[in-house]
Amino acid sequence: MAIRKRKFEAITNTGFSTNNTRTEGGRLTNKDGSINLRKVGMPFWERISMYHSLLRMSRAKFLLIVFSFYTTMNIIFATIYMMVGVQHLQGIIPGNDLMTNFQQAFFFSSQTLTTVGYGHISPVGLATNIVASLESFMGILSFALVTGLLYGRFTRPRAYLLFSENVIVAPHKGKRALMARLATFKNNHLTDVEAQVTIAMHVEENSQRVRRFYALPLEISKINSLAINWTIVHLIDEESPLYMMSEEEIGKAEVELLYFIKAFDDHFSNIVQQRTSYTFKEMVFGAKYIPMFHRSEDNSTTILDLSKISDHERAELPEMVISSVNA
């Protein structure tokens, strides 16, 4: 008996390079779907879009940046008021303590920047009024920008998909299958959900180790509605690039599985998408997923336990069947 050899057509429209391994730097796509890439060759401010960065960063980081900007602006203008002279701020009680004067100038700056203007302190003199007017103008612009960014962050369409931590190789229909599980973790509803899976693996060609990409056929590539969870299944049969590859061979090939999900969100009335990837270290061989939904106690509704998205148990894999090659 001999292994049935098949040639699979590699795809070249992934956007990634297919050069040899010396040009690579780790995984292609991070777990959160971002591309594992750092661009150089241009000044930092020319290759970074602050708008996109502020929209995509985490909520905590965004609030920290806004608070830091607000504090920095008040420190700068408080310093300017100190240079002009605190005696030009009517209502301030000048003291011998520098920190006390700076503290009063700082809080006057915060009242001016936010256009609150309690009236306890007011500018006196041309120079101080010019600084206060400039600060009020900058405050209006700044808060308009922050308001726009907050609106953009809240209204930006997102898929809100939760992927399993690992991809498993499980028994399926008497063969082996590659499985990953996903579900929505917000109260949004996705319809017309499509999945595409691409595998990146290293092969030997002309005495060189190169990376090639192959599309993995899925048992079901599109569902009408993602109401509960979806297990994306790729059957490892004669049509699979992983056919007859052992766990050791898959590890040596340094495979990376790229998952692309596209769906229609009926809340936003817009198409949303999300992606993630799994490396060989995130593959579990000989396992099967544990169901993550059950009926409620009164049998009136279905309970989806998102904490079980990655739960699996051991399962015996069927032996790989070696097919004969026709002469």
At residue 216, the pLDDT reads 94
Model confidence at 268, pLDDT cuts 50, 70, 90, reads confident
Cα distances (angstroms) measured from residue 9 to each of 17, 80, 150, 303: 16, 67, 46, 43
Q: For residue 24, what pLDDT band results from cuts at 50, 70 and 90?
A: low
One of 3.30.9.80, 3.40.50.880, 3.40.50.300, 2.60.40.1400 is the CATH number of 21-37+158-314, namely 2.60.40.1400
Cα distance between the two ends of the chain: 12
Task: Report d(CA 297, CA 306) in Å as an integer.
Answer: 18
Contacts for 295 with CB less than 8 Å, ≥ 6 apart: 301, 302, 303
Question: What does the alpha-carbon distance between residue 20 and residue 23 come to, in Å, rounded to a whole number?
Answer: 6
Amino acid at 112: T
pLDDT at 269: 86
What is the fold of 44-155? Helix Hairpins (1.10.287)
Distances (CA, A) of 1 to 222, 248, 321, 322, 325: 38, 21, 10, 7, 8
Amino acid at 59: R
* Alpha helix positions (H), the chain: 44-47, 50-56, 59-84, 98-113, 126-155, 247-252
Angle in degrees, CA 220, 224, 227, rounded to 5: 100
Give per-residue pLDDT as tens, 34-60: 877 777 888 877 778 888 889 888 899
Residues 6 or more apart whose CB falls under 8 angstroms from that of 175 comprise 235, 236, 237, 318
What confidence tens digit (pLDDT) does each residue in 109-126 have?
Answer: 999 998 887 777 888 889
Domain chopping of the chain, boundaries: 21-37+158-314, 44-155
Cα 104 from Cα 92, distance rounded (Å)? 7
Pairs from 134-138 (Cβ < 8 Å, separation ≥ 24): 135/73, 135/77, 135/109, 136/112, 138/73, 138/113
